[in-house]
Amino acid sequence: MHFIVVGAGNVGRLLVDIASRSRNDVVVVEHDVTRANDIANEYDCLVLNEDATREETLKEAGAARADALISTLELDATNLFVCLLATELGIPTVVSVLHQPEHRELFRKMGVNAVKSPDQLAAESLYRTARQPAIIDYMPVEDDAEVFEIEVSDAAPIAGKTLEDARSGGLIPDDVLVVAVVPQDGSGPRIARSTTEIGAGDRLAVYSGRGTDPAVTDLFGFFDDYR
């Protein structure tokens, strides 16, 4: 695939590393000469020490054959302008770092997939881990909805019950769905079915329409000490 990465800061450099190791054709656009030279010296890719807000720069970067453009600049306004140029040039997939959540709608209207800044994602992850250490990982879906992975504690109300019994007994709300189970016995992940019995120590992948609300996570264990 042909990727155009705009910006060679911390995020951009990581993107270049990942895309290059996956043997993609990568072009980097970086206005700062020092960053541009660093990338050129470290990676086997084309680096343009140019301004990405110029249409000619994106054309030189191969916009006509690009599969995706990823903008990682430090200001939403600049990212937005670069993405606008990219969409007008017909690049199929345009992605940007999002620094201010209130700007998401602007990116969405342009057909740009905007992703929270790494600093914000890291802060949210650290907060969640400190508040609810049983949550192993999570992924935002839309609004408050999330998919998260959690380990079932010995004291969990759901432990020892099938999913069918837990739902019919009112333990699992309508907006919560257990998607997959990784049993403690090491037998490997499996799709969660109504007859699946949940045991202490099992790891669950859970969809929740209200996110990691304690009213939801308490189904899988009691974490009052961490609130």
Residues 6 or more apart whose CB falls under 8 angstroms from that of 77 comprise none
Q: Which structure tokens are listed for 198? A: 């949940």
Asked whether residue 226 carries a pLDDT value surpassing 70, the answer given is no
Instruction: Kindly state whether residues 139 and 106 are assigned to the same domain.
Output: no
Which residues constitute the domain of residue 106? 2-116
Q: Is residue 214 part of a domain?
A: yes
Residues 6 or more apart whose CB falls under 8 angstroms from that of 189 comprise 180, 181, 182
Instruction: Kindly state whether residues 7 and 92 are assigned to the same domain.
Output: yes
In this prediction, residue 222 has a pLDDT band, given cuts at 50, 70 and 90, of low
pLDDT in tens, 3-27: 999 999 989 999 999 999 889 999 9
β-pairing verdict for 203-208 and 113-116:
unpaired
Asked whether residue 227 carries a pLDDT value surpassing 70, the answer given is no
**CA neighbor of 182 nearest in space, from 202, 198, 201, 199:** 202
- Percent helix, strand, coil in the chain, to 5, is 35, 25, 40
Instruction: Kindly state whether residues 73 and 6 are assigned to the same domain.
Output: yes
Instruction: Kindly state whether residues 104 and 36 are assigned to the same domain.
Output: yes
Asked whether residue 136 carries a pLDDT value surpassing 90, the answer given is no
HEC letters along 12-34? HHHHHHHHHHCCCEEEEECCCHH
> How many domains are contained in the chain?
2
In this prediction, residue 188 has a pLDDT band, given cuts at 50, 70 and 90, of confident
Q: Which residues pair with 6 in a beta bridge?
A: 29, 71
